[in-house]
A and B are shown apart, each in its own frame.
Chain A
Amino acid sequence: MDMGKKRYERYRMDSGQHRRILLVMALLGILAFVPVGLRLYQLMVSQYDFYARKALDNQTRTTRVAADRGDILDRNMNILATNVGVENVYLDPHELQQSGADIPAMAAVLGEILEKEPGWIAEQASDFRMRYKQIGARIEEETAARIRDYINANGISGIHLEPAVRRSYPYGSLAAQVIGFTNLGGEGSEGVEAAYDKFLTGSAGKVITTKGNNEMDMPFSYENYIASVPGCDVILTLDTTVQQCLEKQMAAAVSRYDVRNGAFGLVMNCKTGEILAMATLGSYDPNAYLEIADPDTARQLEQMKTDTKSDAAYTEALTAARLKQWRNRCISDGYEPGSTFKVLTMAAALDCGAIDLNTAFHCSGAEQIPGRSQRLHCWRSTGHGAEKTPQALQNSCNIAFAHIALKLGGEKFYEYIGKFGILEKTGIDLAGESKGIFFDKALVTDTDRWGTASLTSGSFGQTFKITPLQLVRAIASVVNGGKLLEPYIVSEILDARGNTVLKQEPTVIRQTISKETSDTMRGLIESVVTEGTAKNAAAAGFSIGGKTGTSEKIDVFDENGQRVLDKIVSFVGVAPMEDPEYIVLVALDTPSRDTGIYISGGVMAAPTVGAVMADILPYLGVTRKPSAEETPVRLEDLTGMTAEEAENWLKQSGLSASVCGTGAYVAGQLPAAGQSLPGGSQVLLYLEAPPEETLTAVPDFTGMNRQQAADTAASLGLVLVAEGNPALLPTVTVSGQSILKDTPVPPGTAVTLTFTDTTARD
């Protein structure tokens, strides 16, 4: 400290210090910067690409922009699957905090609307450094509206709604197993949704943006937008109306015969292989595919949920029930075709000349067949007696067929089975097709070793399993001139601009039998309906052929290990027989013994197919061969006749009379003389002096179905001429009329009504 008191004196640096400072100067002022400069060059120039990419990976967030999934349409462009707008709800916790919202109150309200825990919502809302917290996904419009009301009523800022999509199936359970559904991730599961997923999906777009580490937006951010490509629309060969007819008739049969285990059926075009309808009852609603649709099963599960000790058992049962209702039995499950299979055996035997139409058989009800240990019984224990080939099929005689099989021989039988496509998948464009279980070749060919049991049982469709579609396709080839087709469900795929991406054409796989054999078989098959076991399948005005089947399930056992005598009854029908266009299969699984109705394909399945045919053939434009009573009748002048004479004349002409008033002579008639009436029409006879010709106001027929329109016309004395859709369905209603409503017209005036299927939308 003493130095400080002295006068401050300057001391010059000595030369050593000067030199050392210069050294330090060079070191710290220049040299030390060199490695830093080189390092910066290395990082920012040499390794720029590496670090730029690393930095971008680090900072960017990729947001998927889902592409619109394509629609699924039927052949008339009715929408079977589409997307509907729904909304997602999210919170902006920062905004909530800024606006000073009452978070517990808000969480309570939103929790109630969204059916979520308020505590959880409050937790999401309190993460106030975040800008996006989703609290509800894919909520419906009405829920969204409630939230919107709440936001508006309380002036809360920080609750937001954003658009989202949900898959919708306007026809509900109709053809559900064929159409399939999309899972929670929006991917196609089951059916067409799965099989054509890559066409339907399109390609998702991407928004790549840089985001701060806390998800905050950057003012100068990198942003790259890759547009999404919408999915293609898939057009099915399916016809909604046909599908509805099939499901309606099947459902009616299920309830009439108390069918316990569901039913399956399909309609195929036997010239092209297009599937017009394919149904599995015990169906589900793809709009809510996780819910069990069958009320009994649902009740059992609910019971199980409350009773059971183990959740695992419940979950397992639930999963099994779901898988069951999603299963398309027409392609995924084999069943024993039973007698329907005889068509194939006979076609094979006729085609290779093993039998002809005059080959004689004798059925005594039971017979010991060589090479078969069990005595073979015919379904009719008294036997069919002497029969020839056509009767064998008409009677569905097992003993005759065993002989046919023996004549045919195992080698030929197996060869034809192969040609008929029984040993392979049909190749339909749906996911989950199986090919059934057929005998090993040796089992039917090597009769020395294995006997004839498999060959003879196989000839009438027992002890093996094939899929309904395999059977239908094989029988289609029997009636269509011998062409085995590849069935298909998708006819065309259109991209979002409407360009055709894919078009499926009929594919002939091979010739199964000759055209001549096919012609013969058509006659035989028709005779089964006209004279044989399938008379119930007859539909007025159409020539239908087909074959019944009743098969026992050989592989189902009860808890005691006893064979369960559950039966599947079925019928395969073809129409029109002159030139077969459509083939229909209906199978009912396990009709109850309790109804008292004899369980057989002929009793149960044949009328069901007949009803389906009666519904769909007019709709599909197959010309009806009008029967006598339906021939149009030209009405004569009946006035002056006695009431009796007039009624007789009408009766003879296939018309009916409705008498008005009292009196001996016909004073007037409605419609007037000279009009042509469809057979069976009613004619109004006035026995007193006819009323003054009063004018009637034409009613508004729009929306009436055929029956309502006919009733209305009759009550007003108008004559009805129908045009348009000829189907007798409640959904087919009047869309237009030739005379405007409220126009005054004299009674007997003809009004032309145009009928349209209202469910067919474009």
Chain B
Amino acid sequence: MAKASCLSAKENRRFLRETGERVDFPFLFLVLLLLTIGLVMLWSASFPQSEYDTGYTDSGRYFRKQALCAAIGLAAMYFFSRIPARFWYRTAWPLYGVSILLLLSVLVIGQEVNGAKRWISLAGIQFQPSEVAKFAQIVLFARLTRHFGPEAKTFRFGVLGFGAALMGILVPLALEKHLSAIMLMGMVAVVMMFVAGTRMKWLLAGAGAAVLFVIVYISLMGYAGDRVTAWLHPELDPGDTGYQILQSLYAIGSGGLFGLGWGKSRQKYLYLPFQYNDYIFAIVCEELGLAGALGIGAMFSALILRGYWIALRSGDRFSTVLAAGLVTLIAVQTILNLCVVTNLLPSTGIALPFFSYGGTALAVNLGEMGIVLGISRQRNREKIQEVSL
């Protein structure tokens, strides 16, 4: 095009460097960096629990499982980075349908772990269908956004359309009593609807309704008061309801500026429960200090910013919304987890991407990152076309 012919020599070189169907290197680098740090921290955080759970015979049980899932996840990431976005566009509905079926099947053939029935086994592999459902919802929302176009501003499409799609996932999750996933998917949906163009008043009304629902739901479960007290004043019941959060704060606070050093956490010696999954960030703070914690926070921030940057530059509405949705999923999980661990929010049970123990989540997250990387290649491909014209 005309624009290309006007490129300066410097701009031309940059274009050439950026083309060649290459994935976005900074994003890939950030993903691998976080994954590496996450694995290393998981190793440190999980070994006392692993020793204890295995009767002092094996300190690496959780690390090995996680590393294996990371390997699977990396393979998935590579594979998905080579799939064009239109594949997801086409499989959006089937994926959505399969997800709902899987979620429903959990209610029937699900396996109980830690008192929650959220896992199923397929071909000997245990995984959480809700992780797949989250992805399916984002893909469907992206497709709907493209499909609705400007009509997303109407109540009919912008609220009822997206709402119906959301309910298809949320209702089975509610039946599983998987509150944290409902909350997470609700928030991701709100962000995606906002991007699609749903009017703010509806979104605010919906968010308000959701909050109201949560309040009613929690009070019906009968422990609302306890939860709020445990959140605002954990020191009142340090042995029971306040225990988890106090132990987390002890771990974080005792890290200081530079931490106790990698591997030297004391709170991980069975003081802090869930120290290798939901509360792993507290151990990160204890071992690496404020410097390490802020560094890792900055990496997440950079990953999220770069992810949205990729979304914005994809040049295709479906791809943009898909990438933005996937990045939003990572962002919301990260932020919620950090807020819970530091007691800015009450405990919810949301894992920290790339760090927390949980094979399905890690593999799915990496696969999703692969899709974002694939979208970044697409933009580069477009550049090639632009240059070659």
Listed in ascending order, the chain A residues whose CB lies under 8 Å from chain B are 1, 3-4, 8, 10-14, 16-18, 20-22, 24-25, 28-30, 32-33, 35-37, 39-41, 43-45, 47-48, 50-52, 54-56, 58-59, 94, 97-98, 128-129, 210-214, 216, 218-222
Contact = CB atoms under 8 A, between A and B. Distances in A.
B101 to A, nearest CB: 17
B335 interface: yes
Interface string B22-53: 00000000000000000000000000100110
Given A35-B344, A40-B293, A213-B271, A17 B320 contact: yes
Contacts of B146: 11
A216 B48 contact: yes
Given A11-B146, A212-B269, A24 B342 contact: no
A213 B261 contact: no
B252 A97 contact: no
Contact of B253 (A16, A48, A129, A220): A48
B271 A29 contact: no
- For chain B, the bracket of interface size reads 35 or more
B106 interface: no
B45 to A, nearest CB: 14
Given A28-B304, A29-B331, A220-B261, A212 B195 contact: no
A36 B344 contact: yes
B296 to A, nearest CB: 11
B69 to A, nearest CB: 26
Interface stretch (B85-93, B172-180, B210-218): B85-93
Given A20-B195, A128-B55, A213-B269, A44 B335 contact: no
A213 B253 contact: no
Contacts of B249: 43, 51
- Across the A-B interface, the 8 shortest Cβ-Cβ residue pairs: A51-B253, A212-B269, A8-B86, A55-B254, A213-B270, A25-B308, A28-B331, A29-B305
Nearest to B187: A28
Contacts of B18: none
B250 A54 contact: yes
Give chain A's interface secondary structure class.
Answer: helix
Interface string B187-211: 0000100111100000000000000
A11 B297 contact: no
Given A36-B338, A220-B261, 10 more contacts: A21-B308, A25-B305, A25-B308, A29-B305, A33-B297, A48-B256, A51-B253, A56-B254, A214-B52, A216-B52
A55 B267 contact: yes
Interface string B269-307: 111000000000000010001100110010011001100
A220 B263 contact: yes
Nearest to B262: A220
Give chain B's interface secondary structure class.
Answer: helix
Interface in B89-144: 89-90, 93
B68 interface: no
B67 interface: no
18 contacts: A8-B90, A11-B146, A11-B149, A13-B317, A17-B321, A21-B320, A24-B195, A29-B304, A36-B338, A44-B289, A44-B293, A48-B254, A58-B250, A58-B267, A212-B266, A213-B269, A220-B260, A220-B261
Contact of A17 (B89, B196, B246): B196
B139 to A, nearest CB: 12
A20 B194 CA distance: 7
Contacts of B285: 40, 43-44
A44 B255 contact: yes
Given A4-B89, A94-B55, A14 B250 contact: no
Given A29-B308, A44-B256, A59-B271, A37 B294 contact: yes
B318 interface: yes
A50 B253 contact: yes
B319 to A, nearest CB: 8
Contacts of B156: none
B20 interface: no
B324 A21 contact: yes
B256 A45 contact: yes
Contacts of B294: 37, 40
A130 B195 CA distance: 56
Nearest to A41: B290
A55 B253 contact: yes
B328 to A, nearest CB: 7
Contacts of A17: 195-197, 317, 320-321
Contacts of A211: 269
A4 B52 CA distance: 52
A98 B57 CA distance: 9
A211 to B, nearest CB: 8
Given A36-B338, A43-B249, A14 B269 contact: no
Contact of A32 (B195, B251, B252, B331): B331
A39 B317 contact: no
Nearest to B192: A24
Nearest to A44: B290
Contacts of A48: 253-254, 256-257
B141 to A, nearest CB: 13
A323 to B, nearest CB: 42
Contacts of A32: 331, 335
Nearest to A48: B256
Contact of A22 (B90, B312, B339): B312
Given A24-B194, A210-B266, A36 B297 contact: yes
Contacts of A22: 308, 312
B99 to A, nearest CB: 16
Nearest to B268: A212
B164 to A, nearest CB: 16
Contacts of B338: 33, 36
B320 A13 contact: yes
Nearest to A30: B301
